[in-house]
A = this chain, B = another copy of it.
Amino acid sequence: MYIDTEKARDFCNALFYAYGFSKDDSAVITDVLLRADLYGIESHGIHRLVRYDEEITAEQVDINAKPEIVHETGISACLEANKAMGQLTGVQAMKIAVQKAKTSGCGMITVRNSNHYGIASYYTEMAAAQDLIGVSMTNTEAICVPTFGAQAMTGTNAIALAMPADPCHFSYDASTTVVPRGKLEVFNKNNEPLPDFWALDEKGKPCTDAALVIKNIIAKAGGGIAPLGGQGTLHGGHKGYGLSIIVDIFSAVISSGLTSNYVNRKPDHTGICHYFMAIDYGIFGDKTSIRKGMSQFMQELRDSKKAEGESRIYTHGERAKEMMAQRINGQIPVNEKTLKEMRTIADKLGVKLPASFLLSQ
């Protein structure tokens, strides 16, 4: 099933406005949300409206919150988000980072007490659009089990980095777990056993039973998902475990916020923390020449020898850019469950679904 992109935008704007956000703020939240659908990352797009609805209803998100800078230097700031919507905090924080990068060469912003901020690459690409390197990280509720552990202690803890290049920016955005929770749900739905090394049961033993792992995650009964590199150390799981800690250091530790193991432990706030960085790479040399070198390196990767049976090597960000070109003036896919959730939320808020919202099946 598909819906018209622009109608989806109008609808989301109307929803967020109905919650009480200003028109400008509603447009920002919608833009971050829809970008995920445009990029083909449906897990972080309108599919997630129901989660945001829950968080706003439970007052984990304070729609009137004004994030405030609690510590600042010429190259840094710590932002207390005061439970603001993650997308609003994120855009505000990256704007500060970009401003500092333009005046001081670099801006690093840590954010505490925020909320889920959507796709991390939205923010890094704000920096890349200004010809800067953008970095962002965010912690989440703990779902990732440390190497040799039996209890989730860190989140999916994404790392994103964008670096300007032509014709397509490099834009990396990935969790530090082997897979996100959504992937387990796909295996569960298809009644397929999980690949080895992906998940652990409540005793910390490797577990291929998706239903059991998901049940345990929901009940906080132990176990969870393995870090990138998988369960144990054989395939480098200790590396992914370390990367997930690094995300918590930059997001939570140096912002004096909550590390993943404390996120979402109270009914009225999530405590999610983020990190944003913008670097003017001109502080290392001639920008034109560096950007040309970057573009050449990306092209060499794409042009390098393909594996038998493969026709293309991607650089990160290419697929999303191509998907967005298709969808921006067209349609985005939506599944039946999401559509139903959208109707329920719209009814609750007294927002009308646009006429002929559903385009095709």
Complex contact A242–B174 (CB within 8 A): yes
Complex contact A235–B108 (CB within 8 A): no
Cβ-based interface call for A172 (8 A): yes
Which stretch, A54-62, A301-309, A336-344, touches the partner chain B? A301-309
Complexed CA–CA distance, A301 and B283 (Å): 37
User: A238-256: which residues lie under 8 A (CB-CB) from chain B?
Assistant: 238-240, 242-243, 245-246, 248-249, 252-256
**Residues of B with C-beta under 8 A to A249:** 133, 161, 163, 170, 294
Complexed CA–CA distance, A308 and B148 (Å): 9
Complex contact A300–B153 (CB within 8 A): yes
Complexed CA–CA distance, A246 and B306 (Å): 21
Complex contact B239–A174 (CB within 8 A): yes
Q: Given A195-B235, A307-B148, are A75 and B300 also a contact pair (CB < 8 Å)?
A: no
Cβ-based interface call for A24 (8 A): no
Complex contact B284–A255 (CB within 8 A): yes
**Residues of B with C-beta under 8 A to A105:** 73-76
Which stretch, A28-36, A39-47, A310-318, touches the partner chain B? A310-318
Q: Which of A74, A75, A236, A240 has the most CB of B within 10 A?
A: A236
Complexed CA–CA distance, A286 and B70 (Å): 11
Cβ-based interface call for A290 (8 A): yes
Q: Given A104-B75, A106-B106, A249-B294, are A254 and B228 also a contact pair (CB < 8 Å)?
A: no
**Residues of B with C-beta under 8 A to A301:** 146, 149, 153, 245
- Which one of B151, B254, B259 lies within 8 Å of A281 (CB-CB)? B254
**Residues of B with C-beta under 8 A to A279:** 108
**Residues of B with C-beta under 8 A to A197:** 235
Which stretch, A90-98, A198-206, A350-358, touches the partner chain B? A198-206
Complexed CA–CA distance, A133 and B269 (Å): 29
Cβ-based interface call for A297 (8 A): yes
Say how far A339's CB is from chain B's closest CB, in angstroms.
Answer: 29
Complex contact B304–A163 (CB within 8 A): no
Complex contact B308–A203 (CB within 8 A): yes
Complexed CA–CA distance, A185 and B109 (Å): 44
Say how far A170's CB is from chain B's closest CB, in angstroms.
Answer: 7
**Residues of B with C-beta under 8 A to A306:** 148-150, 204
Interface residues of A (CB under 8 A from B): 70-71, 73-78, 104-106, 108, 110, 133, 145-151, 153, 161, 163, 170, 172, 174-175, 178-179, 195, 197-198, 200, 203-205, 222, 228-230, 234-236, 238-240, 242-243, 245-246, 248-249, 252-256, 259, 261, 279, 281, 283-286, 289-290, 293-294, 297, 300-301, 304-308, 310, 312-316
Chosen A-B contacts, 14 in total, with CB atoms closer than 8 Å, are A75-B104, A75-B106, A76-B284, A147-B313, A148-B307, A148-B310, A149-B313, A150-B307, A178-B229, A204-B307, A245-B297, A245-B316, A253-B293, A254-B284
- Further contacts, 13 of them, CB under 8 A, given A170-B249, A255-B284: A76-B283, A76-B284, A170-B245, A172-B242, A174-B236, A174-B239, A205-B308, A222-B305, A230-B235, A245-B297, A256-B293, A259-B297, A259-B300
